[in-house]
Amino acid sequence: MNTNKNINNKLKSKLKKGKKKAKRFSTLTVVSFFIFELLFTACIFPFILLYGPFENAKSTYVGAAMTSMNHQYLAKWFLSDEKIAKIMGQNSTETTDETTNTAQIDIPKVKDETIEYYKITDNPKYTGHYLVIKDSTRVKIGYTSKLKEEGETTSQIAENNDAIAAINGGGFTDKSSNQDWTGTGGLPIGIIMSGGKVVYNDLEKDKETDLLAINKEGVMLVGKYSIEKLQELGAQEALSFGPSLVINGKMTPMSGDGGWGIAPRTVIGQSKDGAIILLAIDGRGASSLGATLKEAQEVIYKLGAVNAMNLDGGKSTTMYYDGEIINTPSFSMGERSIPTAIIVK
């Protein structure tokens, strides 16, 4: 009897071990299949997207890839340069020679030092933040203390200038030593004017470029200007970037989504009553994907801007206010080193 009981116990033990092995094998099979499905989907997804009938999604994907130095391979691996150019051409911003009519802006004679902060949460696609600065003469151009060599973060530039608020400004062209195109942030593009002085200029004489400027009265100029023209108009602050989004109360013409894909956005605008609007739209995150250039244009227009300019977006998008960063930058290190910022003294 004991012998039979021992045999039964051994059989039960073997059955239990067999079931455990079978369960482990089943779990491994499911996990392996799931991983295979993910890898398979990741491999075929670009082909389905780029060669399928999804024209809007295709143009958004290509636009987002090609406007990021880090991720252009996501388009170039699958499409020829000719095909990319064709897709990009369907979504673009049209150039305009129109510039700001300063007579349309009413700068109050009595200064109001109020700064108002608002958060945009009514769009399921993105989260936005904006500041309304009632006294436009408080808005200045700040820049890194190591200009041409190394950038500083938006908050560093703000704190170095005793500023209460700031957003990132223009772009830069320098390439970092590890070849990842993030750049050191020290070498800007175009023009920087601060306090009435030309701090940086890589343009030829009399050449015009897209920029924003603020004159002595606090009127923001938007459009194409040369250094010489800015000085004639009494500009005190100026910064190159673009494109212009709103000029003299009209949204500038765009085809499709504007051609820059979905990304974090930074925009500056001015309303008819002279107030400056600083806008930052978060992106590349689970809770906020970002906005197209067209969407950013529509947002700043609805906020009342009669003149507005797009600033450097993507990883650079940052908003600083009252001692802290109030948006969620998409840069993995938190804040990106940049050459310039729009600051509020």
Q: Could you report the per-residue pLDDT of 192-208, keeping only the tens digit for each?
A: 999 999 999 999 989 99
Are 214 and 236 in contact by the 8 Å Cβ rule? The answer is: yes
Measured between alpha carbons, how far is 30 from 32 in angstroms, rounded to an integer?
Answer: 5
Q: Which residues pair with 325 in a beta bridge?
A: 320
CB atoms within 10 A of CB 310: 25
Whole-angstrom distance, CA of residue 223 vs CA of residue 100:
7
Query: Lowest-pLDDT range, 65-69, 184-188, 223-227, 261-265?
Result: 65-69
Q: How large a percentage of the chain has pLDDT more than 70? A: 71
**Considering the entire predicted model, what is its pTM?**
0.80
* Inter-CA distances, 314 with 81, 123, 139, 147, 197, Å: 23, 19, 23, 21, 29
pLDDT-derived band at 277 (thresholds 50, 70, 90) equals: very high
Residue 178 dihedral angles phi and psi, to the nearest 5°: -90, 10
CA distances from 114 to 108, 111, 133, 276, 306 (A): 13, 9, 6, 11, 20
Inter-residue contact 202 to 190 (CB < 8 Å): yes
In 3-state terms, what secondary structure has residue 244? strand
Mean pLDDT for the chain? 84
How many Å apart are CA 195 and CA 235, to the nearest integer? 9
Lowest mean pLDDT among 46-50, 150-154, 160-164, 267-271: 46-50
SS3 284: coil
- Is residue 308 within 8 Å of residue 296, measured between CB atoms? no
Residue 94 pLDDT level (bands cut at 50, 70, 90): confident
pLDDT single digits (tens) 54-81: 555 555 566 656 555 445 666 676 677 6
CA distance 44 to 296: 31
How many helices (H) and strands (E) the chain has is answered by 7, 19
Is the pLDDT assigned to residue 320 strictly greater than 50? Answer: yes
Stated length of the chain: 345
Supply the pLDDT for residue 156: 98
Higher pLDDT, 283 or 95: 283
The whole-number average pLDDT for the span 85-95 is 69
**Structure tokens given for 277:** 């609007």
- Residue 130 — pLDDT band, cuts 50, 70, 90? very high
Buried (b) or exposed (e) across 70-105, using 16+ Cβ within 10 A? Answer: eeeebbeebbeeeebeebbebbbbeeeeebbebeeb
**Preceding peptide of 329 cis, ω within 30°:** no
Closest to 151 measured CA to CA, from 164, 178, 170: 170
Give the whole-angstrom CA distance, residue 272 versus residue 179. Answer: 44
Of 226, 202, 200, give the one whose Cα is nearest residue 213.
Answer: 226
SS3 at position 38:
helix
pLDDT tops 60 at residue 5: no
Mean pLDDT computed over 158-173: 96
What does the buried/exposed string (b/e) look like for 179-208 if buried means 16 or more CB atoms within 10 Å of the residue's CB? eeebbbbbbbbbbbbbeeeeebbeeeeeee
Quick check: 53 pLDDT over 90? no
Percentage of the chain with pLDDT > 90? 63
